[in-house]
Amino acid sequence: MRRLLLIASITLFNISVIFTQQLPVYSQYTYNKFLLNPASAGSDGYTSINLIAREQWVGFDDAPKTHAITIESRILKNSFISKNTSIRRKRRLSSRSGRVGWGGHLFNDKNGKFSRTGLEGTYSYHLDIADYKLSFGLSLLLFQCKLNTSELVFSDSETDDLINGKKQSLFIPDASFGTYLTSRNLYAGISIMQIMQSSIKFSNESESEYKLRRQCNVLGGYIFNLNDQFDIEPSFLLKFTDISRPQLDLNMKVSYMNDISGGLSFRTGSSLIIFTGVTLTRYYIGYAFDYNFNSLMNHTFGSHEIMLAVKLGDNARRYKWLDVY
């Protein structure tokens, strides 16, 4: 009986997640803001490639899993990418930049028998305003929603459209838009995901239609330079839709020589996130662990997220506020 109650509780929780948190959840977004805001594509001048793998509620069968790869860059008139040049070398090169950035995002998000695989393309535009850079971004997305019914058994399967296989896979278009403001130490942005509010309809029956809801992301942070070695970066992320309660992340990150970083995040809903990362010249390796303050942790090993990244470019691309473009 206790096992049945546990399975029922998890099932209900999964259903609530599908309706209120339709987009993948990431814990290391402060290292890759492009995941949340298309306007950040190419904003720092780097060509960045990121790999993300997230395993949620490890220990449960069919627990949520997310795998993604992102690439973003800036269309510059002159390129300074060099395999022999460290991105942290302090030298100043004169260059003229373009204002156009671009990005791509390939992902697979699986939750139980439901999965979503998609490809996203992004166009961004960057304007210099005094000591700030104001960016705008638009993403177009095409993804496939798939329901794996091969392992599902219902007593009335003969009359169930999903089991009979009328529609078990759908291709759905969507879009996202965002704005992003940066300076030497400050960053802030707002984005709207799933603008089209597309419908997921597996059959011709109205009862089987589910609507994707627009999600608004508000992100902000400030980097305090304590000395030549240590930086402290408090930040926040607010996410909300028209049908769910807002979710707030409060983050605190500490960096040493821009080579070693780590911190804590508190997410409303009783989650604590511990994250750390190491930078080796142009390469980055990061890890995050999510701990939930509820009974679910008695039956799982928590949620784990790994990020691998490479940044190609030099200071002429990175420090945009030095007017080196």
Q: Which two tokens stand for residue 106?
A: 């390939």
**Confidence tier at 209 by pLDDT (50, 70, 90):** low
With bands split at pLDDT 50, 70 and 90, how would you rate the model's confidence at 205? low
* Residue numbers of the domain that contains 102: 2-322
- For residue 286, give the nearest of 12, 40, 35 by alpha carbon: 35
* Lowest mean pLDDT across 13-27, 164-178, 183-197: 13-27
Residue 86 confidence (pLDDT) above 60: no
Half-sphere exposure of 239 (CA within 13 A, CB side): 22
Band of pLDDT at residue 218, cut at 50, 70 and 90: very high
| pLDDT tier for residue 112 given thresholds of 50, 70 and 90 | confident
pLDDT tops 50 at residue 242: yes
Mean pLDDT across 178-203: 90
Question: Across the chain, how many H-helices and E-strands are there?
Answer: 2, 17
d(CA 258, CA 50): 18
Q: CATH number, domain at 214? A: 2.40.160
pLDDT tens column, 221-233: 999 999 999 999 9
Tell whether pTM > 0.85.
Answer: no
The predicted structure's pLDDT at residue 169: 78
Distance CA 62, CA 179 (A): 36
Is-contact 47 313, C-beta < 8 A? yes
Residue 323 has pLDDT above 80, yes or no: no
Q: What is the pLDDT of residue 4?
A: 39
pLDDT value for 77: 57
- Would you give the DSSP letter of residue 8? H
State the residue for tokens 């997220």.
Answer: 305
Residue 69 to residues 72, 87, 103, 200, 251: CA-CA distances in angstroms?
10, 21, 11, 24, 23
Q: How far is residue 307's CA from residue 52's CA, in Å, rounded to a whole number?
A: 5
pLDDT band at 167, cuts 50/70/90? Answer: low
**Of the ranges 1-10, 84-93, 192-201, which is most confident?**
192-201
pLDDT the model gives residue 108: 94
Between residues 89 and 260, which one has the greater pLDDT?
A: 260
Question: How many CB atoms sit inside 10 A of residue 262's CB?
Answer: 17
pLDDT of residue 120: 96
* Residue 78, CA atoms < 13 Å, CB-side half-sphere: 10
Distance in angstroms (rounded) separating the CA atoms of residues 254 and 242:
34
Q: What angle do CA 113, 116, 118 make, to 5 degrees?
A: 160
Contact call for residues 198 and 173 (beta carbons, < 8 A): yes
Indicate whether 105 pLDDT > 50: yes
Instruction: For residue 247, give the 3-state DSSP assignment.
Output: strand
Q: Which of helix, strand or coil describes residue 254?
A: strand
Mean pLDDT, the chain, integer: 80
Half-sphere exposure at residue 210, Cβ-oriented, CA atoms within 13 angstroms: 13
The domain tally of the chain equals: 1
Partners of 116 in the beta sheet?
109, 145
Average pLDDT over residues 199-214: 68
Contact 308, 50 (CB under 8 A): yes
Please report which confidence band the pLDDT of residue 180 belongs to, taking 50, 70 and 90 as the band edges.
Answer: very high
**pLDDT, position 254:** 97
Averaged pLDDT for residues 248-275? 94
Mean of the pLDDT values across residues 115-139? 94
Cβ(307)–Cβ(70) under 8 Å? Answer: no
